[in-house]
Structure 1
Amino acid sequence: MAFNTGLSGLRAASVDLDVTGNNIANASTVGFKGSKVQFGDLYANGFLSGGTNPIGDGVRVQDVKQSFGQGNISFTDSGLDMAISGDGFFILSNNGETRYSRAGQFGIDKDGFVVNNQNMKVQGYTADDDGNLSGVRGDLAIETGNLAPRRTTNLVTDLNLDSRQSVLEQQVRSFSLPSSAFAGGEYRFTYSDGSPDYGVGPIANPAPPAAPVSAREIAEQITLAPGVNASGTETVTLASGTPSAAEIQDPDFRFRVGSIDLSNLTEVNNLQELAEAISNISDNSISAKVNGDTGSLEITNGSGERFDVEWGVGNNPSSTETSVGAISISSDRNVDGIVTVSGSNQLQSEFDNTLPTPINAFNPIDQRTYNHATSTKIYDSLGNTHEMTQFFVKEPSPGNGVGQSQWSIYIEIDGEMVAGTDQQPYTAIFNQDGQLESINGNVNGEIIIADWVPKDPNGAPNGADGPPADPSSVVSPIPLPANSSAFVLDLGRATQYGATFGVNNQQQNGYTTGRLSGLDVSGEGVIFARYTNGQSKALGQVALASFNNTNGLSPVGDTTWVESFESGQPVIGAPDTGTLGSIKASSVEESNVDLSAELVNLIIAQRNYQANAKTIETSDAVTQTIINLR
């Protein structure tokens, strides 16, 4: 009896040592859950009755129970590492077998799937192409390719138009003078609105052989005066029929415009074709035409820089002409006069003799013809960026200005008017409270832009989707996937208060292509991809599982468990819902083994083993005494 009792104690103590040693060995294993041996005593009993022997038969191991208590959470430098704070297990697919784990050391395999260190695929709720999470569970995957561009289909502009603005009325003087009229000149502009005089010049007139001041330089000085705009051009005019058709057709004909050599013009046969060749040179500020009245060739540099024209047959052109400058000047109604301080008085005389012309025509490059403007970027179907500008012009109020205000809206993309506003602007009506009533009768305040042709920097169509075949068929909102460049401008939140013009918010739903730049995981287990174009998109959501009887799970190694009859079926859901815990990103759950306690348990198990061995040793000694009796 004592032998069996001691032997059972040895077996139990050995199991205790094994379990304690396993706990100590996994003290640093991520997601490991420590175990504890549970013992029970042994007593002999009979069928339908209890045993009558009060002496027990020893001890047995009733169960090795795991402790699923929360382990410490530590931070890592991996964005896909996850720790569960609270109840639940990660769901893993091991080639079709479902396993459960608390170890959240995850990465990406060669196919883009989120996996653990044993290449088991993490299960979760997948997302569609727009980042909308579905209720469908599957293998979580990370799209490592470029994010496809998305065209703009909706632009919301929330702004306030200043009701204190006045209706624009302008009077403009416009005239032109040769550059020679300004040589050595000094001028003073005077203003009717009380602004201080502004002096221009003196404009230098260098002595020969120095080149005269270019038209560009003169125009730049004049434009500095408030309320005055000036532009300069330089032109070379060749006499009628110069050069001749015979010269042009000669193989040795040479023609140079400034620093640009137009030699070997094999496909140019006459003056008109020469003018076209000059206009097509890379410097697009140079243009040429044949004057229909005089038959002369006129070559103009729109930048206002001086240049020479040389031509002839052979290596040494025999004819040379130098450009002559011209200055075009316009001034608004506030410019009261021009006083000549020195030099020619032609500028003052021309100003005095030119009657002001009343104008109110919108011009996107003239800030005097609109009250407010705001710009934003939009995107075509190829992800190219385009600049869209909205212009707002205060108009006379309908109904004699009682209870309503009216504004005109012009829209420009990349310097070209769209939405038909080059012919007729949109009309916005505001009520007495400054709220938008309608735009062209649309109470939603929406403008459908269905005539935009995306173009490249050279002004040619860039290959992106263009306007729909039937612009009238476009509806708001634009159905997805979109198949044209049409989009909706939503001004429904616009106001007209007595406050400074300001854009409160401006959002559009397009973007260019982007590369994956990083991953973020939310507390709900949603995996977000961040891209270089500033966009982010949900790629999926980690799923968690819980069990009614967690201790019923069967451990199968690799810090994973499988469902058993005792555990019951899993309850699966999103993190931080129901009884499921939340996700801590860039973190792992450490082993819940208390190393100090385990070392004490190791000593206890060792003492128990030694004590049970002593029981056997003592029983052996007693038995040997009996055997030695004579």
Structure 2
Amino acid sequence: MAFNTGLSGLRAASVDLDVTGNNIANASTVGFKGSRAQFGDLYANGFLSSGTNPIGDGVRVQDVKQSFAQGNISFTDNGLDLAINGDGFFVLNNGGEVRYSRAGQFGIDKDGFVTNNQNMRVQGFQADEDGNLSGIRGDLQVDASNLAPRRTTDVQSELNLDSREGVLEVSGTTYQTLQPAPTATVGEQILNIARADGTSTNITVPAGSTARDIAELLNQQDDVSASARTEYTVPVGEIQAGETVSVQGTDFAIPAGEADPVGWLRDAINNSPLNSSVNATITQGAGGTPEFLRLIESRGNNLSVAYEAAAGTVSEVQVGSLNTTLPVDASLTSDGALLTGATTDTFRTNTFDPNDQRTYNHATSFNVFDSLGNSHELTQYFVKEPVSGGGNVWAMYVQIDGEEVGDPPTANGEASSARYELQFNVDGTLQSVDGDPNGEVLISNWTPLDSKGAPNGADGPLLTANGGATPVPQPPTSSNFAINLAETTQFGSAFGVTDQRQNGYTTGRLSGLDVSDTGVLFARYTNGQSDTLGQVALASFRNTDGLAPVGETSWVETFDSGQPIVGQPDTGTLGSIKASSVEESNVDLSAELVNLIIAQRNYQANAKTIETSDAVTQTIINLR
């Protein structure tokens, strides 16, 4: 019996030596988890009893248990080396077999798949063409092809226009205010613009045209700029509590007993849907006393107002005025009533000329991209506008590569001057752009040109008359894009560009890969863009000790481990990802060397047991 006991001890000590030696051998293996042998004693048991003085039968190896404690994380120079800081395993596809590993030494194979040193493919969550991650798991793959260009469809332009700026003045150009007559009494009219060089242009104004309509016609001329604006003032004494005031057909019933009926009406108008085109303010008289309720239709459309004055109900349609900048020595003539009440001011102002810095207050430029990925320079010019009766109005002119992009086109089919009117509130915030309270304008007449001024083959414009509108449909089929100026301000500080960005880019080549703490794989391209390729998947188990090691620093699922719980890094109980890092073996080499000495001692001691038993047996044999 002593022979068997000693022999079992030798076997156990040998296993202990093997386990310790394996730990020492893998002390530098990335992702390796150390093991330890666990032993149990043996006793002979009968059916009814084990005896009153049982003697053990030796020892057996119950289990070789691995320690899944966190190993140290060390940094590397490979961006795809990944370490898990916390719980979880990388999910690997080994030709259809699923394995789990903590060794994150990854690279790219010839087909672009992310693999480990044994060509097992790393599993992750796929991303669509727009970089949106899905819950679909598959092999992570890096697409090394060039990133396709993306045309510009949205421009965000956030600026501050200096409210202290004055209207620019240049001698030689006359500023005139034209007063269109009420549309009910005027039919079609002819405007004749005579120039100093002897040329002239006839402009047909259709019957019923508003000031805004006429301004758009004038702006199609190369050397004319015009803006439209409608104002109406109501004496504050004629606005009483309990009365109803109608603006553009919307009734505003002032509550009876209202202490400040004028202020109530102003706020009611500005908080109603009318604020998209009509703004109400209170003008002060001498000594700061409220004098008039001032209504402004910033687009130059007709403005209908009805209120109950002391002498009876007043119901009027106010026609907008035109602020025009005309060529040198030009004159406007008409046979109709369009110029009724026209005045010529004594001061002189400029005609906008993008080639003359004296004719605009500010300018800023940045690049936009066509459907082929070609870069083009978009320039915004800002001009402080003179407005009769005061007001905070700027004109924005837009050119691309020095070419006009205005819609509608001129009579000969060329792009007109792209001019947009920015109306600001008294607190410096933007009220509207060409009457749009969202501050958005559409560039719908841009034909991308090459360096020689010829169309370069990219998608061309879709005019508003043919269906061009905002938002630009996706996928886009034209060169149209929107400029959003909603955050533009007019404060008393220097002109400055707060933010300017657009969503287009040129083609790019793959220049590098980055991995975030959540395992998201980013591709970096030479055009400055990045694209989400996917996200590394991690798996955890209810009983990690139940995993079966299969070599190559990997494990497989067993019945004891339970099914894997697969998720995104840094969620739930899963750890985070450290890029350009690996997890070292968790073997404590000093402790293993001590364990080696103990295992050697145990082996020698058990061998001594066998030797002693042999001597005793020999003594018995010699008894004769």
Deviations 1:420-447 (A, max 9, x none): 3834621111111111111111111001
Q: Report the Cα distance in structure 2 between the residues aligned to 1:559 and 1:517, rounded to whole angstroms.
A: 31
Deviations 1:264-321 (A, max 9, x none): xxxxxxxxxxxxxxxxxxxxxxxxxxxxxxxxxxxxxxxxxxxxxxxxxxxxxxxxxx
> 1:438: which partner in 2?
432
Alignment of 1:256-335 (within 5 A): none
Q: Report the secondary structure of 2:619's partner residue.
A: helix
Does residue 32 in structure 1 map to residue 32 in structure 2?
yes
> 2:605: which partner in 1?
611
1:367 to partner: Cα distance: 1.2
> 1:287: which partner in 2?
none
Q: Report the Cα distance in structure 2 between the residues aligned to 1:358 and 1:158, rounded to whole angstroms.
A: 31
Identity of paired residues, percent?
Answer: 72
Change (3 A) 1:135 1:471: farther
> 1:114: which partner in 2?
114
Does the aligned pair in 1 maintain the 2:537–2:568 contact within 8 Å? Answer: yes
> 1:371: which partner in 2?
361
Q: Report the secondary structure of 1:63's partner residue.
A: strand
> 1:288: which partner in 2?
none
Amino acid corresponding to residue 377 of structure 1 in structure 2: N
> 1:17: which partner in 2?
17
Does residue 170 in structure 1 map to residue 170 in structure 2?
yes
> 1:235: which partner in 2?
none
Does residue 580 in structure 1 map to residue 567 in structure 2?
no
Q: Report the secondary structure of 2:65's partner residue.
A: strand
> 1:152: which partner in 2?
152
Q: Report the Cα distance in structure 2 between the residues aligned to 1:87 and 1:424, rounded to whole angstroms.
A: 60
Q: Report the Cα distance in structure 2 between the residues aligned to 1:522 and 1:385, rounded to whole angstroms.
A: 31
Q: Report the secondary structure of 1:462's partner residue.
A: coil
Does residue 414 in structure 1 map to residue 401 in structure 2?
yes
> 1:46: which partner in 2?
46
Change (3 A) 1:135 1:477: farther
Alignment of 1:376-525 (within 5 A): 376-397=366-387, 400-401=389-390, 404-420=391-407, 422-423=416-417, 425-468=419-462, 472-525=466-519
Q: Report the secondary structure of 2:381's partner residue.
A: strand
Computing the radius of gyration from Cα coordinates, the structure with the larger value is: 1
Does the aligned pair in 1 maintain the 2:444–2:463 contact within 8 Å? Answer: no
Q: Report the Cα distance in structure 2 between the residues aligned to 1:91 and 1:595, rounded to whole angstroms.
A: 28
1:470 to partner: Cα distance: 5.9
Q: Report the Cα distance in structure 2 between the residues aligned to 1:520 and 1:572, rounded to whole angstroms.
A: 22
1:468 to partner: Cα distance: 2.4
Amino acid corresponding to residue 527 of structure 2 in structure 1: N
Q: Report the secondary structure of 2:392's partner residue.
A: strand
Q: Report the secondary structure of 2:353's partner residue.
A: coil
Q: Report the Cα distance in structure 1 between the residues aligned to 2:48 and 2:454, rounded to whole angstroms.
A: 100
Does residue 533 in structure 1 map to residue 523 in structure 2?
no
Q: Report the Cα distance in structure 1 between the residues aligned to 2:103 and 2:143, rounded to whole angstroms.
A: 23
1:620 to partner: Cα distance: 0.9
> 1:552: which partner in 2?
546
Q: Report the Cα distance in structure 1 between the residues aligned to 2:538 and 2:600, rounded to whole angstroms.
A: 40
Amino acid corresponding to residue 489 of structure 2 in structure 1: T
Q: Report the Cα distance in structure 1 between the residues aligned to 2:609 and 2:159, rounded to whole angstroms.
A: 92
Q: Report the Cα distance in structure 2 between the residues aligned to 1:160 and 1:567, rounded to whole angstroms.
A: 63
> 2:219: which partner in 1?
none
In the superposition, the TM-score normalised over structure 1's length comes to 0.69
1:448 to partner: Cα distance: 0.7
Amino acid corresponding to residue 356 of structure 2 in structure 1: D
1:479 to partner: Cα distance: 2.6
Does the aligned pair in 1 maintain the 2:405–2:418 contact within 8 Å? Answer: no
Q: Report the Cα distance in structure 1 between the residues aligned to 2:446 and 2:465, rounded to whole angstroms.
A: 10
Q: Report the secondary structure of 1:12's partner residue.
A: helix
Q: Report the Cα distance in structure 2 between the residues aligned to 1:158 and 1:5, rounded to whole angstroms.
A: 86
Q: Report the Cα distance in structure 2 between the residues aligned to 1:122 and 1:52, rounded to whole angstroms.
A: 60
Deviations 1:254-273 (A, max 9, x none): xxxxxxxxxxxxxxxxxxxx
Unpaired segments ≥5 residues, structure 2: 174-327, 329-345, 408-414
Amino acid corresponding to residue 577 of structure 1 in structure 2: T
Does the aligned pair in 2 maintain the 1:45–1:52 contact within 8 Å? Answer: no
Amino acid corresponding to residue 350 of structure 2 in structure 1: N
Q: Report the Cα distance in structure 1 between the residues aligned to 2:397 and 2:405, rounded to whole angstroms.
A: 8
Task: Provide the aligned length of Structure 1 versus Structure 2.
Answer: 446
Does the aligned pair in 2 maintain the 1:106–1:117 contact within 8 Å? Answer: yes
Q: Report the Cα distance in structure 1 between the residues aligned to 2:602 and 2:16, rounded to whole angstroms.
A: 9
Does the aligned pair in 1 maintain the 2:112–2:141 contact within 8 Å? Answer: yes
Change (3 A) 1:5 1:371: same
Change (3 A) 1:596 1:423: closer
Q: Report the Cα distance in structure 1 between the residues aligned to 2:350 and 2:449, rounded to whole angstroms.
A: 30
Does the aligned pair in 1 maintain the 2:101–2:555 contact within 8 Å? Answer: yes
Across the aligned residues of Structure 1 and Structure 2, the Cα RMSD in angstroms comes to: 1.8
Change (3 A) 1:154 1:49: farther
Q: Report the Cα distance in structure 1 between the residues aligned to 2:600 and 2:128, rounded to whole angstroms.
A: 59
Q: Report the Cα distance in structure 2 between the residues aligned to 1:396 and 1:120, rounded to whole angstroms.
A: 72
> 2:56: which partner in 1?
56
Q: Report the Cα distance in structure 1 between the residues aligned to 2:535 and 2:140, rounded to whole angstroms.
A: 8
1:395 to partner: Cα distance: 1.0
Q: Report the Cα distance in structure 2 between the residues aligned to 1:480 and 1:95, rounded to whole angstroms.
A: 40
Deviations 1:79-121 (A, max 9, x none): 1000011111000001111100000000000000000001100
Does the aligned pair in 1 maintain the 2:470–2:482 contact within 8 Å? Answer: yes
Q: Report the Cα distance in structure 2 between the residues aligned to 1:365 and 1:423, rounded to whole angstroms.
A: 14
Does the aligned pair in 2 maintain the 1:407–1:429 contact within 8 Å? Answer: yes
1:46 to partner: Cα distance: 2.2
Does the aligned pair in 2 maintain the 1:439–1:446 contact within 8 Å? Answer: yes
> 2:131: which partner in 1?
131
Q: Report the Cα distance in structure 2 between the residues aligned to 1:434 and 1:508, rounded to whole angstroms.
A: 25
Does the aligned pair in 2 maintain the 1:13–1:605 contact within 8 Å? Answer: yes
Q: Report the Cα distance in structure 2 between the residues aligned to 1:406 and 1:422, rounded to whole angstroms.
A: 21
